[in-house]
Amino acid sequence: MKLNKLGLIIESEYLSRVRKKTFILTTILTPIGFLVFTIVIMFLMTAGTDQKKVAIIDDSGLLGLDTSALASNNQVVFDYNRTYKLEELKSKLEEKGYDGVLYIPKTEEQNPEKLESLKSLKVEFFAYNQLGVNAQTYIQSTLAQRIETAKLHKMGIESAMLEKAAIKSKDIQFDPKNLGKSDTKAQEVSSSRVYVATFLGGVMMFLIYFVIVIYGNMVMRSVMEEKTSRIVEIIISSVKPFELMLGKFIGVGAVGLTQFGIWAITIPLLNFLVSLFFIGRLQNVQSNMPQQQMSSTDMEGMMEVMNELWAFNYFQIIFFFLIFFLAGYILYASLFAAIGAAMGDDWGEGQSMTMIVVIPVIMAFYIGIAVIEDPNSSLGVFASIFPLFSPVVMPARIVFEPPIWQIMLSLALLIANCWLFVWISGRIYRAGILMYGKKTTLRELVKWMFIKE
């Protein structure tokens, strides 16, 4: 194999893609998309929302005379109305500056005498423009709370007593200790570490899945284009088919790495800059909403997450991530290349063959999601070692520090299978790119593997 020619192929495959408008656009637009998303979120968080002024007419008398307990939020302002009747207010809605009228009718069930047996509350809302889902939910929950407090009061239970008695699931301090590890440091597994690991594992898994599907497809399309445009016959009169295939893998893979490299730098940087810009406004908003300020326990949780985020062995994680990333890409790219070479001029026919390759990737992704929930399940151990799944599943597990023998076994099998798949695909590719006009069956693919050069 002549390395300079392989280099030429890689260069051409790489440059022809990187210079494409679609590549430049997606590479630039994705960070900008994230940026716009962040800005929108920031705006929604900081900008004062359109408050709705709602008049309440309580014929049932269930809410009592005290309206101060009906707290407003940034979407809804309640105004307890005592002067007007419903019909009167409905006609004078805009004149009085209301956006709507909330009417609680008095019925057989809905009256203070039967408060204790009240199961549901029927209210009517009159407005020219109906409320958004959030505002409606807020009104519902406010009313429910109000009724509940009233009911409890009638039963002789005060809300202060309830607060005293309350205990939430987050108040149960869960402290896992790993028995399998000998060194003391690993024994300390904090609960937030599990959350952080889940997040990291998920991100890595998704990235690899994404690369395999997107760039695997790119390899396949490229093979098909060369075959159908017949340029391939000219290229392989200069270089070996295997060199062309390998050059394609490396060139397209480099395109993927370039794109991710650009994103890995620009997306966090842009988001950081935007956060800086908004940080002053965010603080303003928080001081305006004292009830939503972080409690000290929340702050502690944040600190813990930050600490855990730094506590991972990133050298090890990134090292293994890159290896599984590359091996997984090569393994699937070779399958995609074989399929691309086997297809005829008929693109539609190709779809069904693509499924043969796509199904294991999708399976791996869904298994990965399950494995993140329970990283040491037998499914997780199996899937992270089985070579068709391991490129996606093992990176999800690696942050949970699985036994080293599993990582090594998985890697050994993956790399061995990479060689095997590249070899098989090379044979199929070599035969397939020169075959025209026939529909390709799986049986024929197997035959092609044994065709002499």
Partner 1 sequence: MNILELNNVVKRYQQKIAVDHVSFDVPESKIFGLLGPNGAGKTSIIRIITAITKADEGSVFFSGVPLMAAHREQIGYMPEERGLYKKMKVGEQLLYLARLKGLSKKDAKSRIDLWFEKFQIGDWTNKKVEELSKGMQQKIQFIATVIHHPKLLILDEPFSGLDPVNANLIRDEILLMKQEGISIIFSTHRMEQVEQICEEIVLINNGKNVLNGTVSDIKQQHKEHLFEVEYLGDTLLDFDNLAELQSNENGKLIVKLKEGIESNKLLRHLLDNNLQIIGFREILPSLNEIFIKTVQ
CB 90 within 8 A of CB 100: no
- Report the candidate in 117, 124, 115 with the shortest Cα–Cα distance to residue 86: 124
The footprint of partner 1 on this chain (CB under 8 A) covers a number of residues equal to: 24
CB of 234 to partner 1, least distance (A): 6
Dihedral over Cα of 114, 115, 117, 120: its sign? positive
| Secondary structure letter of residue 80 according to DSSP | E
Candidate segments 230-238, 317-325, 343-351, 416-424, binder of partner 1 by CB under 8 A: 230-238
Give CA–CA dist 145/69, Å, rounded. Answer: 10
Nearest 5°: phi and psi at 103? -115, 125
Give CA–CA dist 133/129, Å, rounded. Answer: 13
CB of 1 to partner 1, least distance (A): 10
CB of 22 to partner 1, least distance (A): 11
Q: Which of 83, 91, 237, 295 binds partner 1 (CB under 8 A)?
A: 237
Q: Which of 47, 71, 234, 442 binds partner 1 (CB under 8 A)?
A: 234
Using CB under 8 A as the binding rule, whether residue 235 contacts partner 1 is answered as: yes
Candidate segments 87-95, 132-140, 232-240, 291-299, binder of partner 1 by CB under 8 A: 232-240
Q: Which of 152, 203, 239, 262 binds partner 1 (CB under 8 A)?
A: 239
CB of 24 to partner 1, least distance (A): 15
Which of residues 282 and 451 has its CB atom nearest to partner 1 in the complex?
451
Residues 434-453 that bind partner 1 (CB under 8 A): 434, 447, 451-453
CB 130 within 8 A of CB 102: no
Which of residues 185 and 438 has its CB atom nearest to partner 1 in the complex?
438
| Entry field: residues in the chain | 453
Give CA–CA dist 424/67, Å, rounded. Answer: 77
> Which whole-number Å values give the CA distances from 269 to 4, 32, 263, 275, 452, in the listed order?
37, 11, 9, 10, 54
Candidate segments 9-17, 127-135, 212-220, 288-296, binder of partner 1 by CB under 8 A: 9-17
Using CB under 8 A as the binding rule, whether residue 25 contacts partner 1 is answered as: no
Candidate segments 7-15, 106-114, 140-148, 416-424, binder of partner 1 by CB under 8 A: 7-15
Which of residues 225 and 374 has its CB atom nearest to partner 1 in the complex?
225
Which of residues 135 and 343 has its CB atom nearest to partner 1 in the complex?
343
Candidate segments 59-67, 228-236, 325-333, 339-347, binder of partner 1 by CB under 8 A: 228-236
Q: Which of 39, 194, 236, 262 binds partner 1 (CB under 8 A)?
A: 236
CB 357 within 8 A of CB 328: no
Which of residues 54 and 428 has its CB atom nearest to partner 1 in the complex?
428
Using CB under 8 A as the binding rule, whether residue 221 contacts partner 1 is answered as: no
Using CB under 8 A as the binding rule, whether residue 208 contacts partner 1 is answered as: no
Q: Which of 219, 232, 337, 414 binds partner 1 (CB under 8 A)?
A: 232
Using CB under 8 A as the binding rule, whether residue 9 contacts partner 1 is answered as: yes
Give CA–CA dist 80/71, Å, rounded. Answer: 11
CB of 228 to partner 1, least distance (A): 9
Give CA–CA dist 235/109, Å, rounded. Answer: 85
Which of residues 348 and 437 has its CB atom nearest to partner 1 in the complex?
437
Residues 378-437 that bind partner 1 (CB under 8 A): 434
Q: Give me the residue label for tokens 């069930």.
A: 109
Give CA–CA dist 156/154, Å, rounded. Answer: 5
Number of H helices, E strands in the chain: 16, 4
Report helix, strand or coil for 2: coil
Using CB under 8 A as the binding rule, whether residue 229 contacts partner 1 is answered as: yes
CB of 13 to partner 1, least distance (A): 10
Nearest 5°: phi and psi at 101? -120, 130
- Per DSSP, helices labelled H in 66-190 are 86-91, 133-155, 159-165, 184-187
CB 393 within 8 A of CB 205: yes
User: By the criterion CB under 8 A, which residues form the site for partner 1?
Assistant: 5, 8-9, 12, 16, 225-226, 229-240, 434, 447, 451-453
